[in-house]
Amino acid sequence: MDTLYREEILEHYKYPRNKGTLEKPDITYKDFNPLCGDECQIDLHVKDNRVDEVKFMAKGCAISQAATSMLTEMIEGKSLEEIKQLSKKDILDVLGIELGPVRLKCALLCLKVLKGGIYGIKEWPT
Protein backbone atom coordinates (compact mmCIF):
# COMPACT_ATOMS: atom_id res chain seq x y z
CA MET A 1 0.00 0.00 0.00
CA ASP A 2 2.89 2.38 0.76
CA THR A 3 4.03 1.98 -2.85
CA LEU A 4 0.66 3.25 -4.10
CA TYR A 5 0.86 6.30 -1.87
CA ARG A 6 4.47 6.97 -2.86
CA GLU A 7 3.46 6.86 -6.53
CA GLU A 8 0.63 9.33 -5.84
CA ILE A 9 3.06 11.67 -4.07
CA LEU A 10 5.49 11.50 -7.01
CA GLU A 11 2.63 12.11 -9.45
CA HIS A 12 1.59 15.29 -7.60
CA TYR A 13 5.22 16.38 -7.33
CA LYS A 14 5.93 15.92 -11.05
CA TYR A 15 2.51 17.17 -12.25
CA PRO A 16 1.15 19.47 -9.54
CA ARG A 17 -2.50 20.43 -9.65
CA ASN A 18 -3.49 24.11 -9.39
CA LYS A 19 0.06 25.43 -9.73
CA GLY A 20 0.33 29.14 -10.44
CA THR A 21 -0.99 32.40 -9.02
CA LEU A 22 -4.33 34.16 -9.18
CA GLU A 23 -4.85 37.72 -10.32
CA LYS A 24 -6.41 39.72 -7.50
CA PRO A 25 -6.91 36.85 -5.03
CA ASP A 26 -9.34 37.39 -2.18
CA ILE A 27 -6.94 35.58 0.15
CA THR A 28 -3.22 35.09 -0.35
CA TYR A 29 -0.64 33.95 2.12
CA LYS A 30 2.99 32.88 1.97
CA ASP A 31 5.31 31.27 4.48
CA PHE A 32 8.39 29.07 4.61
CA ASN A 33 9.92 26.27 6.63
CA PRO A 34 13.22 27.55 8.05
CA LEU A 35 14.42 23.99 8.77
CA CYS A 36 14.63 22.97 5.12
CA GLY A 37 13.89 26.08 3.08
CA ASP A 38 10.53 24.94 1.65
CA GLU A 39 8.35 27.89 0.56
CA CYS A 40 4.63 27.99 -0.15
CA GLN A 41 2.09 30.57 -1.27
CA ILE A 42 -1.62 29.84 -1.64
CA ASP A 43 -4.05 32.18 -3.43
CA LEU A 44 -7.82 31.85 -3.14
CA HIS A 45 -10.79 33.33 -4.93
CA VAL A 46 -13.76 33.08 -2.61
CA LYS A 47 -17.36 33.33 -3.77
CA ASP A 48 -20.34 32.96 -1.42
CA ASN A 49 -17.93 31.94 1.36
CA ARG A 50 -16.62 29.00 -0.74
CA VAL A 51 -13.30 28.48 -2.48
CA ASP A 52 -14.13 29.20 -6.10
CA GLU A 53 -10.54 28.89 -7.35
CA VAL A 54 -7.19 28.02 -5.77
CA LYS A 55 -3.61 28.29 -6.98
CA PHE A 56 -0.28 27.75 -5.31
CA MET A 57 3.38 28.48 -5.86
CA ALA A 58 5.88 26.43 -3.91
CA LYS A 59 9.53 25.50 -3.84
CA GLY A 60 10.88 22.59 -1.90
CA CYS A 61 10.92 18.85 -1.46
CA ALA A 62 8.56 16.32 -3.04
CA ILE A 63 6.56 15.90 0.19
CA SER A 64 5.96 19.64 0.54
CA GLN A 65 5.01 20.10 -3.12
CA ALA A 66 2.79 17.02 -3.29
CA ALA A 67 1.00 17.85 -0.04
CA THR A 68 0.24 21.35 -1.34
CA SER A 69 -1.05 20.03 -4.65
CA MET A 70 -3.25 17.48 -2.85
CA LEU A 71 -4.53 20.11 -0.42
CA THR A 72 -5.60 22.41 -3.25
CA GLU A 73 -7.67 19.58 -4.71
CA MET A 74 -9.24 18.94 -1.31
CA ILE A 75 -10.41 22.51 -0.76
CA GLU A 76 -11.90 23.42 -4.14
CA GLY A 77 -15.59 24.15 -3.63
CA LYS A 78 -15.37 23.89 0.17
CA SER A 79 -16.61 26.61 2.50
CA LEU A 80 -14.15 28.56 4.61
CA GLU A 81 -15.75 26.97 7.70
CA GLU A 82 -15.08 23.49 6.30
CA ILE A 83 -11.49 24.47 5.56
CA LYS A 84 -11.02 25.75 9.10
CA GLN A 85 -11.84 22.21 10.28
CA LEU A 86 -9.01 20.61 8.27
CA SER A 87 -6.34 19.13 10.49
CA LYS A 88 -2.89 17.63 10.45
CA LYS A 89 -4.57 14.22 10.28
CA ASP A 90 -6.32 15.16 7.01
CA ILE A 91 -3.00 15.99 5.35
CA LEU A 92 -1.31 12.86 6.68
CA ASP A 93 -4.26 10.71 5.57
CA VAL A 94 -4.09 12.01 2.01
CA LEU A 95 -0.32 11.46 1.90
CA GLY A 96 -0.75 7.96 3.30
CA ILE A 97 2.82 7.39 4.49
CA GLU A 98 4.62 7.62 7.82
CA LEU A 99 6.70 10.78 8.22
CA GLY A 100 9.45 11.69 10.66
CA PRO A 101 9.48 15.04 12.49
CA VAL A 102 11.39 16.95 9.79
CA ARG A 103 9.25 15.64 6.91
CA LEU A 104 6.12 16.28 8.99
CA LYS A 105 6.91 20.01 8.93
CA CYS A 106 7.38 19.78 5.15
CA ALA A 107 3.99 18.10 4.74
CA LEU A 108 2.15 20.53 7.00
CA LEU A 109 3.55 23.78 5.58
CA CYS A 110 0.66 24.00 3.10
CA LEU A 111 -1.93 23.69 5.90
CA LYS A 112 -0.11 26.35 7.91
CA VAL A 113 -0.17 28.68 4.89
CA LEU A 114 -3.83 27.97 4.07
CA LYS A 115 -4.99 28.58 7.62
CA GLY A 116 -2.68 31.59 7.97
CA GLY A 117 -4.45 33.14 5.00
CA ILE A 118 -7.92 32.30 6.21
CA TYR A 119 -7.33 33.40 9.78
CA GLY A 120 -4.94 36.21 8.84
CA ILE A 121 -2.37 34.95 11.35
CA LYS A 122 0.65 32.63 11.35
CA GLU A 123 -0.45 30.33 14.15
CA TRP A 124 -3.76 28.65 14.73
CA PRO A 125 -5.22 26.00 17.02
CA THR A 126 -4.68 22.43 15.79
Res 125 pLDDT > 90: no
Can you give the residue ranges of every domain in the chain? 2-119
Read off the pLDDT of residues 13-43 as tens digits, 9 standing for 90 and up: 999 999 999 999 999 999 998 888 999 999 9
- DSSP reduced 3-state for 125: coil
* pTM for this entry: 0.89
Confidence of residue 124 (pLDDT cuts 50, 70, 90): very low
Residue 57: which of 40, 44, 45 has the closest Cα?
40
Q: 120's torsion region: left (phi>0), alpha (psi -120 to 50) or beta?
A: left
Distance CA 41, CA 102 (A): 20
Overall fold of domain 2-119: Sufe protein. Chain: A (3.90.1010)
Read off the pLDDT of residues 74-117 as tens digits, 9 standing for 90 and up: 999 999 999 999 999 999 999 998 898 888 999 999 999 999 99
Q: Which residues are 45's β-sheet partners? A: 53
Residues comprising the chain, all counted: 126
